[in-house]
Structure 1
Amino acid sequence: MHTKLVGASALAITLAVAGAALYPRAHSQAADAAATHATKVALVPVVLGTQERYFTGVGELEAARQVLVAAETGGRVTQIRFESGQSVAAGAVLVQLNDAQEQAALLRQRAQLKNAESSLARTAQMVREKAATQEQLDSALAARDAALGDVRQTEALIAQKTIRAPFAGQLGIRKVHAGQYLNAADTVASLIDTKSLLVNFALDEQSSAKLAPGQAVQVLVDAYPDEVFTAKINAVDPLIARSRMVQVQAALTHPRSALRPGMYANVRVARVAGRQLTVPETAVTYNAYGDTVFVAQQEGKQPLTVKRVAVKLGERAGGRVAILDGLREGQRVVASGQLKLADGMAVQAVANTLDEAKRAVPKAGS
């Protein structure tokens, strides 16, 4: 009987030792199995940094100088010295109207002026010699002034027959032909100064109160989606419309010649930046019940799991969104693959995801 008890005890001890030896291996295998079945996700940290913030508005580009070049007086076109779309200098002759009659009149009037000036000089000499009266001198002076007025009037009319560019810029489509008769105010072409562009846009009255002349703005146009143009505010309209919007005008600095007046523009005005928590916009799940993110968590040697957390969002900029409530700095959130996750599900971080995320996010205070 004693021998049987000793044998049973030895067997029990042997089984216990074997079980103790096998437990870590079994536990490790279970952990490996859990890791194998864990959903692979990309994790990024919640960072505290400076988030760019903007006032935004929609506007339109306008040339600082743009006119319809037109005839000041009527006449037949004898010369056209420009082509459609041509760039011209200030004062360049665009169209010459027939001025033969005025040129002939000018020759006659200049001769009359010369004669009147000679008569005035003789009369003045005679007055000094007491051979003529002051009344005769006044008449000679009036005749000279009248002749001079006729000359200047004809010269002005001849100048009107020469249509010039009032400033340097780019001409539009030509609207005149050689031999055509132009009436006063008939358009020759449009002229735009493409080197001085303005952008007119509107902001709500609350936002406009924080603007001032000289403040920089960013201008984006659909024609060049990958470029950001800079401008400076030169005027804020003091009148607030019934729509509670305020008109703002900014001048583009060194605009590209390809920009055209009339283009629609999205305008961003930088606000005072503040430090706040941010995550990539892709980390947020939007639904009717509120905005949420999946936060990665791990206790001890337990598998890495995710927890759905409700968050309150702030402004968006540069692919990131501010978190006003729900997260704290340093937590890791799922940046992609949320649709296949559920609360408490085991996950596995994709290799190097965290390092890549750190390089992708702005540094705190930057």
Structure 2
Amino acid sequence: MDRKQEIIETEITMGTVHSAAIEPYRVRLFVEDEIVRDAEITVGVNHRGIERIMEGLPVEKANSLTEKVCGICSGVHLWNSVLVAEKGLEIDIPERASYIRIIVGELERIHSHLLYLAHGNEVLGHETFSMRLFYIRETVMELLRLIGGNRVQYGVPIIGGVRPRADLTEMKIKGILEGLDEIEENLAAFAERFTADPMIMSRITGVCPISRKDALRLHVTGPTLRATGVEFDLRREMECYDPFEFDIITQDDGDVKANLLMRVLEIFESIKILRQAVRDLPDGRVADRSWEMQDTGVVKSYVEAPRGKLYHSYAIEDGRVRSSIIRTPSMSNIGAMQYACIGHHITDAQLGIVQCDPCFTCTDRAIEIIRL
């Protein structure tokens, strides 16, 4: 063979611990002349067997355990797990409790998106922007602490509503509104500075794009899907969001720039929802504890987590959880993370992965591979 026609493929491995990764996972890049020809992401390092631990636990104790699945989207895991029990037991929660759940959920979405943007800028090598975003996020974390008593695991939803300690007093409402004003002002200033930086724009525009067709083929979910132009947000199908007006943000290019802008614009929509929820907060109780425990079959529930569609299911038997299954959005998005790297320079590979907002700690579930 002519030496000029030889294909020399080199494998480059990153992880399981790497400075560009927030959490442990392994990336194998197969490169030819510094261009990625194939990629493989391996998870499992963070697996803690939460579904197995939940087996046989009392329902409310098992629900509390789901909040430990993830440190970024802990609240939405608890919310969805509680929804499974409420659907199975046919419990209608007070309207005030539903609004408080949404307030906590949207604050958590903002905190998750800001963490994503900060990490993205860190991978870009812009430490100043990264720290500015963490500074904005600090206000969100303090609002979550104000409502639930904790910055990370707030423990707000319970079967039948929310914990009484999470009820919104006038003092809390005033703090939330002041915090939203501060977040909106600071984020708008950051967005203006970010998009006006020619070096950053040239670094992220057209990098690792995912087409609409490929996103649908790979079953991408959440903002990563919407960044390809697909107008789908599960909140439109969640009855509790019916009273609120908000836009479904989309971008068309599916590249790193589109994904970063998606999260910035979605934060402003979350602020819009939060202001409506605080303004129209109904009076009344925050929990209905008059329900009775009974056996149920396997009940499924889907919600729109910060990264996309989150699935929880389990059955109740003698007041205890059976056959729990949790499926997180990043499990669906791993295919897109691998695909986004292919055909691009090795220096862009980590950007292609990060643009899909991976959360591998909560993705590490028990998986059974079936050969068809």
Q: TM-score range by the shorter chain?
A: under 0.3
TM-score by length of 1: 0.19
| Larger CA Rg, structure 1 vs 2 | 1
Q: Which has the higher contact order (CA 8 A, sep 6+)?
A: 1
